[in-house]
Amino acid sequence: MVGGRVTKYYLYLMGLLWLSGLQANLTVDRFFEHLGQKTDKLVFYFHGMPKLEHTVAPLHDEPEHYRAERFIFHKLHFANDQVRKLLLLNSKGYYHNGHHQCYKLKFKQLEDGLELILIYDLRQVQCVEYHSFKAISGFDGFLIQINHKLVGSQELVALQNQEKQPPLNLTNQNKLAIKNRLALEKYKLNHEITIGLDYGHGGTDQGAMGLSAQPEKIITRQVGFKLKKLLVDLGYNIIETCPDDLKMDLDERTYLINFANKPVDLLISIHANYAANSGAMGLETFFSDQQLFKTVVQSCLMDQCQRNSSGETSKKLANIVHETVLELVNPKIGGQVIGNYNLKDRKVRCSAAQILLGVECPAILIELGYLSNLQEAKKLNEPAYQEFLAQGIAQGVVNFLAAYSSTFD
């Protein structure tokens, strides 16, 4: 199957792709690996986008059903030992994710840049996408998105069986595929709603402080626990990424959501904001979708990338929750706001926040208000105000589910 296509793909990828970028020495400052059931996402953050060269690489020790692609990021170095260690996990300069075997990465520091070789198994990978984007933090991001073949596809079922058990005869294989399909249908019809809650920051990562009596990590949990109680009372299942006050990496959080023991229908991440301008205040809600990403390398398998993104659903969730919080905190009579809190509307925004980028379900990130604003910092420390915010979010979730739950995957 692969043989006839190789020449075509090779020619397709032969050209070098150059990105505009600064030629000063650049560093890779952060790296995340978001593992998922449908996709794995490798995210690199740079100060300035490096010039990128991309070619198909020859296979060495790998079997024929693998493909290797080589990238050189010109003038790029590791920012610090922590990033270096993460990427060069052992002395061979070789990093392999322990989750499954569908891809591996090799990094090498060259004199004038960083070489990355991505090797993936064509039996398990449907296609790979390469995108650049601007992160919410201001960093330049590079995303490698590895799309898995569909769960339950005959080829994949056969492969899983081959790896776990002695080969099955055709009859048994068919039976297994049918069983998987039935399980999926049952889930669609009967499943209860499970909501993921992510309380921003924790442990030594305090988040913002500003003029607040308590750091952001405490406020996100105080509001989050109130929200959790309301949602549990409404009968929803809850999965929390990090209920304890502990530092947890963002790709660890997304892993917990993507591989929760019950499929998570939507995720809400709670944060509080900070700005140098102490006058800035108000509620902001973020979602992430495809429009943020610019394709930088045309991979040979791109025509097979036909994956539905959860971006549209995330946008609907963001709009409904945002509006509901504002309505609840700022009640109106005859067009006049009568509440005491006067929460400013800083709108729903589309942004590549890391947690939103890494989860596979519809997801939003809510910035409850600014801890750098004295008035808002005081309110955010008040249990009564926190309760208003939690009720607004919970009611927003209920409104969203009433309108859209039938459209879930």
Strands in 152-299 per DSSP E: 194-199, 237-240, 266-273, 283-287, 294-297
Q: Which stretch binds Zn ion (CB under 5 A): 158-166, 184-192, 203-211, 369-377?
A: 203-211
Q: Which stretch binds Zn ion (CB under 5 A): 27-35, 45-53, 147-155, 204-212?
A: 204-212
Residues 21, 50, 202, 207: which binds Zn ion (CB under 5 A)?
A: 207
Instruction: For the beta carbon of residue 381, count every other beta carbon within 10 angstroms.
Output: 16
Instruction: Kindly state the smallest distance separating residue 80's Cβ from Zn ion, in Å.
Output: 22
DSSP state of 395: H
Q: Pick between residue 224 and residue 263 the one whose CB is nearest to Zn ion.
A: 224
Give the Cα separation of 204 and 385 in Å (integer). 26
Instruction: Kindly state the smallest distance separating residue 360's Cβ from Zn ion, in Å.
Output: 22
Instruction: Kindly state the smallest distance separating residue 150's Cβ from Zn ion, in Å.
Output: 35
Q: Pick between residue 207 and residue 311 the one whose CB is nearest to Zn ion.
A: 207
Helix count (H) and strand count (E) of the chain? 10, 19
Determine contact, residues 215/203, Cβ cutoff 8 Å. no
Q: Is 221 in the site for Zn ion (CB under 5 A)?
A: no
Q: Which stretch binds Zn ion (CB under 5 A): 39-47, 63-71, 197-205, 395-403?
A: 197-205
Number of residues that bind Zn ion (CB under 5 A): 3
Q: Pick between residue 237 and residue 373 the one whose CB is nearest to Zn ion.
A: 373
Task: Tokens for 120, please give them.
Answer: 């993936």
Burial class of residue 3 in the structure, from the number of CB atoms within 10 Å of its CB (0-12 exposed, 13-18 middle, 19+ buried): exposed
Q: Is 253 in the site for Zn ion (CB under 5 A)?
A: no
Nearest to 71 by CA among 32, 90, 44: 44
Q: Pick between residue 36 and residue 200 the one whose CB is nearest to Zn ion.
A: 200
**What mask of x and - would describe binding to Zn ion in positions 46 to 85, judged by CB under 5 A?**
----------------------------------------
Q: Pick between residue 317 and residue 366 the one whose CB is nearest to Zn ion.
A: 366
Q: Pick between residue 219 and residue 230 the one whose CB is nearest to Zn ion.
A: 219
Instruction: Kindly state the smallest distance separating residue 207's Cβ from Zn ion, in Å.
Output: 4
Instruction: For the beta carbon of residue 105, count every other beta carbon within 10 angstroms.
Output: 18
Give the Cα separation of 331 and 338 in Å (integer). 6
Q: Which stretch binds Zn ion (CB under 5 A): 3-11, 58-66, 85-93, 263-271?
A: 263-271
Q: Which residue's Cβ lies closest to Zn ion?
A: 271
Q: Is 200 in the site for Zn ion (CB under 5 A)?
A: yes
Interface residues for Zn ion in 264-293 (CB under 5 A)?
271
Nearest to 68 by CA among 38, 94, 106: 106
Q: Which stretch binds Zn ion (CB under 5 A): 65-73, 201-209, 290-298, 394-402?
A: 201-209
Instruction: Kindly state the smallest distance separating residue 274's Cβ from Zn ion, in Å.
Output: 8
The residues, any chain, with a CB within 8 Å of residue 385's CB and separated by 6 or more, are 341, 379
The residues, any chain, with a CB within 8 Å of residue 363's CB and separated by 6 or more, are 196, 266, 267, 268, 269, 287, 288, 310, 314, 317, 355, 356
Q: What does the binding site for Zn ion look like in residue numbers (CB under 5 A)?
A: 200, 207, 271
